[in-house]
Amino acid sequence: MNENPTPTSEDGRRRGAGPRINRRIVLAERPKGPVTPAHFRLESAPVPELIDGQVLVRNRFLSLDPYMRSRMEDARSYAKPVAVGEVMVGGTVGEIVESRHRRLAVGDRVNGVLGWQHYAISDGTGLRRLPAGDSVPLSAYLGTVGMPGVTAWYGLNRILEPVAGQTLCVSAASGAVGSVVGQLARIAGSRVVGIAGGEAKCRLVRERYGFDACIDYKAGRLEADLAAATPDGVDMLFENVGGAIMDSVLGRMNPFGRVAVCGLIAGYNGEDISISQVRSILVNRLKVQGFIVSDHPDVWPEALAALGAGVSAGTLKYHETIAEGLEQAPGAFIGLLAGRNVGKQLVRLADADEPEIRPC
């Protein structure tokens, strides 16, 4: 990652000092294949003065998510790509440190999509004010009680419609989405089989999240292990990966099964993710539906209430991998795409990175 030569006097604007300095990571170059640190650039710039109707948010945690890989490409998709030179897109939680907004006050904790940076100016659009004084940790609003949790909730309840006693299979099972899918399905009475990379992740899936079984697809016996773990076949597939993993589960589907296509991470670097088990869709009369969680704002309040209650009560468990400091974000993102994260991948935007006030 390059760092621009902009002077970085970090004096706070408060108490008559100079402007606050924002540190941000922008897209330096579009990847053609695997992402490397050279695709990002760290920049520093003064935070502009607010105008009426705006707030200044100090981001505390940044979420790293697989969808960011697609946004780095200039390809037709469901969302606009990040422009070269623009701040990388990303979900954040933080607090308002200045306000010229009528309904948002200094001290309010907010969740938004404010990007890979310490500070962001917002007119409030898309900001979600977080409950004050609840028992949900701030970071969880980017995971189980945030976009990944709602994704799990939507795909499970609105597409797969779990039935007690039926078998659900979920890939990337130890991750931010997969771990919630499996736990919610277990609560609904389904038998849950996860697929994850490595025995350590599989142990987490079984022991912490309570899945009935978990298959380590890296062990090289995917088809045989899947057959052994699903003696009655598979009724519901929550697909996060695609390619060979999706194919092997399609081969185990029962008649009138349902498939929620949530993500195809195996193909995010341009790898082949073709489906060879297309016949299963026909002969088993499967319902196969892709979805994008942001298309369904109507379900977010209900889903977030249920997920928040589950986390508060301890019935929904989660695990986080936290990178310390903004400059670690590119490496952590590259690790996420290689499966090095365990659970929700976050970046803590620590004060040590950028003191908010320096004495003049």
Ligand X SMILES: NC(=O)c1ccc[n+]([C@@H]2O[C@H](COP(=O)([O-])OP(=O)(O)OC[C@H]3O[C@@H](n4cnc5c(N)ncnc54)[C@H](OP(=O)(O)O)[C@@H]3O)[C@@H](O)[C@H]2O)c1
As measured in angstroms, the least distance from the Cβ of 247 to ligand X is: 12
Q: Name the residue nearer to ligand X (CB basis): 19 or 137.
A: 137
Instruction: Reduce the DSSP state of residue 65 to 3 states and report it.
Output: coil
Identified binder of ligand X from the candidate list 183, 190, 280, 341, rule CB under 6 A? 341
The interaxial angle of helices 147-154 and 300-313, nearest 10 deg, is 110
Identified binder of ligand X from the candidate list 240, 248, 280, 284, rule CB under 6 A? 240
| Angstrom distance (rounded) from CA 234 to CA 167 | 5
Identified binder of ligand X from the candidate list 265, 303, 307, 346, rule CB under 6 A? 265
Give the Cβ contact number of residue 216 at 10 Å. 20
CA angle (242 as vertex; 237, 247 as ends), nearest 5: 70
The two tokens of residue 274 are 């073709």
Identified binder of ligand X from the candidate list 27, 55, 60, 66, rule CB under 6 A? 66
Rounded to a whole number of angstroms, the distance between the first and last alpha carbons of the chain is 31
As measured in angstroms, the least distance from the Cβ of 165 to ligand X is: 26
As measured in angstroms, the least distance from the Cβ of 283 to ligand X is: 26
CA angle (164 as vertex; 241, 210 as ends), nearest 5: 60
| Angstrom distance (rounded) from CA 130 to CA 317 | 20
Q: Name the residue nearer to ligand X (CB basis): 134 or 199.
A: 199
- The answer to whether 65 contacts ligand X (rule: CB under 6 A) is yes
Q: Name the residue nearer to ligand X (CB basis): 96 or 195.
A: 195
Which region among 97-105, 182-190, 263-271, 276-284 touches ligand X (by CB under 6 A)? 263-271
As measured in angstroms, the least distance from the Cβ of 289 to ligand X is: 11
Q: Name the residue nearer to ligand X (CB basis): 42 or 172.
A: 172
- The answer to whether 120 contacts ligand X (rule: CB under 6 A) is no
Q: Name the residue nearer to ligand X (CB basis): 88 or 104.
A: 88
Q: Residue 94 carries which side chain, given as an amino acid letter?
A: G
Site string for ligand X, 284-323 (x = CB under 6 A): -------xxx------------------------------
Q: Name the residue nearer to ligand X (CB basis): 254 or 289.
A: 289
Q: Name the residue nearer to ligand X (CB basis): 75 or 292.
A: 292
As measured in angstroms, the least distance from the Cβ of 38 to ligand X is: 21
- The answer to whether 196 contacts ligand X (rule: CB under 6 A) is yes
Q: What is the DSSP string of 269-313?
A: TS-----S-HHHHHHTT-EEEE--GGG-GGGHHHHHHHHHHHHHH
As measured in angstroms, the least distance from the Cβ of 24 to ligand X is: 22
- The count of chain residues that interact with ligand X, using the rule CB under 6 A, is 27
| Angstrom distance (rounded) from CA 49 to CA 20 | 10
Instruction: Reduce the DSSP state of residue 140 to 3 states and report it.
Output: helix
The beta strands (E) that lie in 47-182 are given as 55-63, 92-99, 109-112, 119-122, 128-129, 167-171
Please name the helix (run of DSSP H) or strand (run of DSSP E) that holds residue 239, with its range, or none: strand 234-239
Residues contributing to the site for ligand X (CB under 6 A) = 65-67, 148, 151, 172, 174-178, 196-197, 201, 240-241, 245, 262-263, 265-266, 291-293, 336, 339, 341
